[in-house]
Structure 1
Amino acid sequence: MEKLGCLTHLFVTVFLTAFAGFVAMPAITDVTMEALCPGKDECSLAIYLSGFQQAVSGIGSVLMTPLIGNLSDVYGRKSLLTLPLMLHILPLVVLAYSRATSFYYAYYVLKIVASMVSEGTIQCLCLAYVADKISEGKRASAFGLLAGVSSAAFVCGTLSARFLSTAQTFQTAAFSAMAAAVYMRIFLQETTRETDASTRILLKSEPSSSSDDSLTKKVQVFKKIPTINDIKNLIGSSKTFSQVAVMVLFNSLGEGGLQASLMYFLKSEFHFSKNQFANLMLIVGIAGMVSQLVLMPMLLLVTGEEWLLRLGLLVSSTTMILNSIAWDAWVIYAVAGLSVFGIFTNSCMRSIASKQVGACEQGKAQGCISGIGSLANIISPLFFSPLTATFLSDKAPFHFPGFSLLCIALCMAIAFIQSLMIRTTPKISGNMVA
């Protein structure tokens, strides 16, 4: 019951945080276009700026996510979760105040800074927190439940955005982000690894001067910063973990390209606005919520994580192919319903990876996986943003507005091929990486 209560507080925190991001998402494309290219449905500047933001945020995430995940193994998930939740508030407050061009650029800068720390980090710490509390046999379902909470926030956020004005949308988002940080600090129980024997010896040694204590603590913090060799050793410690890393890389390349391409494709080809974006996201959100909270726990008992992972990647690549050749808006809406099967991917990959490391390395492992995803987010906009801008413009080498979406499907297909070769193995107990 105590563990269930801890997870309930975590789920509330995740819901409020995710709701803050998702309620603002349908409006952000219109706000960006209005600030940068008023009155137009196609704007290369908006595409390039969004791609630059995604790439720079990815660079920060590659550095910060493994570091914060590693430190959380020692100093607790709650302590390390505070910073990204606080930074998540700032850009939303700016747009809640005004959406004028100057305020948009202020939002843009703050969003980059916040994303460098919080993008990937929040998910990494929440997954590590769940892994601390849940046994291996139930971990995939628990990860799916966590993703289901995010999907529920997605549904509530996009449904709310459908009925709120643009100003009210960002005001609601800012309030929800503040509520998440406050709730987490008050109610979430800390987890820490400082009770490990080796840590007790280091931190509770014989009495010494205060300066020696301070120096010892600084050395311990410094020693917990992961190096490239640490990450290489972690990936190489298990064939299964390295296979998951490859799948995460290519799947994240596809997802990053989707983030850089899809909304601008829909805006240009089908003249989508805030309400149409909200309708589409609502379909995806409901499908994800049903998938994670209902279908996944049942299917796991029958198929296991490996087959669910393969199904999710196959469906994801197929939906991108269909989106790339969509001839009418209804095709986009119909394809969105297939995401009920594509949502399985991330939870299954995270669960498989978590079982390859010891109990004291969950933050390190999840941070490593998030860091690989962030690396893909650096690469993908450098390729997909120019590709999208080119094929949506009058200077395209041939007429295929959805060509960037077809390339996204290729990335996900490569991840699917890798999933066919994966064979899960029992976890490696103890600390694998020095």
Structure 2
Amino acid sequence: MLIKHIRMYLCGFPQQRSVGRAKVAHAVVVIFMEFFAWGLLTTPMLTVLHQTFPQHTFLMNGLIQGVKGLLSFMSAPLIGALSDVWGRKSFLLLTVFFTCAPIPLMRISPWWFFALMSVSGLFSVTFSVIFAYVADITEEHERSTAYGLVSATFAASLVTSPAIGAFLSVRYGDSLVVLLATIIAVSDILFVLLVVPESLPDKMRLSSWGFPISWEQADPFASLRKVGKDSTVLLICVTVFLSYLPEAGQYSSFFLYLGQVINFSSEAIAGFIAMVGILSIIAQVKTFSFHIR
């Protein structure tokens, strides 16, 4: 009975409130708004993190990001597999909601903010669902360009939002920044609920009331075991892992390091993020333009 009600909600309720055909633009807007909201909080979050854990700022930052990343790794295959049969829109709504849920708690209770931020890793896999959404609505020859557009949009959201957040924080205080980020996050949730159409064709939906996937599909380690069976895929995965490993560690602590150790001002940190974002956009556009040629 519980599974029946869950399926009725996931497969019916959200989809009835949107019109039109699914487009890459829908995915772009969802990603931009989600990361723009979090980008606004760059300066306030660094301040709150240091005030909440003054003696162990770097340690707690690493633990929070580590727990969030681990939970995302564990849950991503399950959410991906369920979205394959219950539709993308429902899980876009789920991931965006839980990713943005900690935002208003920054001013209400910093401890709960960081706790919920860690636990939200269970659903903080919007990118995975977005890429599946894009794959549903594009032809194979269009897919690389569409993925590049989504990635460039993510970078674009980080070009201006930290600078805007830093400016508003200095001029009007952190409370206004958190309020603005909350409004944008709520707008993103409403956009998914009311505007974003479903991308998964009806013929690919679940056709029975039973649980639609096996444990193997939800097992995060199953994919790792499959990787080793193809030498080419294995080499690609190792390359990506070694590339993102230092980048992820740097991203989680570098901005904190700039502020707490090198004594960068909020404006300088925001400018640095904007510069990185602009270079990332250029790299994405050039890479996928070259791919098209």
Q: Normalised by the shorter chain, which TM-score bucket? A: 0.7 to 0.9
CA distance in 2, matches of 1:256, 1:297: 23
Amino acid at match of 2:289: M
Which structure is higher in RCO with an 8 Å CA cutoff and minimum separation 6? 2
2:263 to 271, 274, 294: 271
Q: Distance in 2 between matches of 1:28 and 1:125?
A: 26
Candidates 116, 124, 130, aligned match of 2:122:
116
Larger radius of gyration: 1
Match of 1:139 in 2: 143
SS at match of 2:41: helix
Alignment partners' CA distance in 1, 2:80 and 2:233: 17
Contact (CA 8 Å) 2:39, 2:158: kept in 1 or not?
A: yes
Question: Does residue 49 of the first structure (1) align with residue 60 of the second (2)?
Answer: yes
- Name the SS of the counterpart of 1:53 in structure 2: helix
CA contact (8 A) 2:88 2:199 kept: yes
Aligned residues: 270
Unmatched 5+ residue regions in structure 1? 38-42, 204-215, 303-434
CA shift at 1:6, angstroms? 1.8
With the length of structure 1 as denominator, give the TM-score of the two structures: 0.57
Tell me the distance in 1 between the aligned counterparts of 2:198 and 2:119.
26
Q: Tell whether 2:101 aligns with 1:90.
A: yes
**Structure 2: which amino acid aligns with 1:107?**
F
Distance in 2 of aligned mates of 1:260 and 1:288:
17
Aligned to 1:25: 42
Residues 1:154 and 2:146 aligned together = no
Corresponding residue of 1:58:
69
1:71–1:224 contact (8 Å) kept in structure 2: no
Change (3 A) 1:147 1:163: same
Question: Partner letter of residue 235 of structure 1?
Answer: V
**2:53–2:60 Cα contact (<8 Å) kept:** no
Among all aligned residue pairs of Structure 1 and Structure 2, give the percentage whose two residues are the same amino acid.
23
Instruction: Report the TM-score, using the length of structure 2 for normalisation.
Output: 0.83
Aligned equivalents of 2:82 and 2:211: distance in 1?
A: 13
Letter matched to residue 168 of structure 1: L
- CA displacement 1:140-168 (0-9 Å, x = unmatched): 22111011111221123123113212222
Aligned CA distance change for structure 1 residues 15 and 229 (closer, same or farther; 3 Å): closer
Q: Is structure 2 residue 129 aligned with structure 1 residue 125?
A: yes
1:273 and 1:250 map into 2 onto residues whose CA distance is 31
Secondary structure class of the residue paired with 2:264: coil
For 1:9, the equivalent position in structure 2 comes to 26
Deviates more, 1:53-62 or 1:268-277: 268-277
| CA–CA distance in structure 2, aligned partners of residues 26 and 56 of structure 1 | 22
Does the 8 Å contact 2:104/2:179 carry over to 1? yes
The one-letter amino acid of 1:188's match is V
Q: Does 1:299 align with 2:290?
A: yes
Task: Sort the Cα spacing of 1:232 and 1:298 in 2 relative to 1 into closer, same or farther, 3 A.
Answer: closer
The structure 2 residue matched to 1:189, chosen from 189, 197, 206, is: 197
Name the CA distance, whole Å, in 2 between partners of 1:83 and 1:151.
23
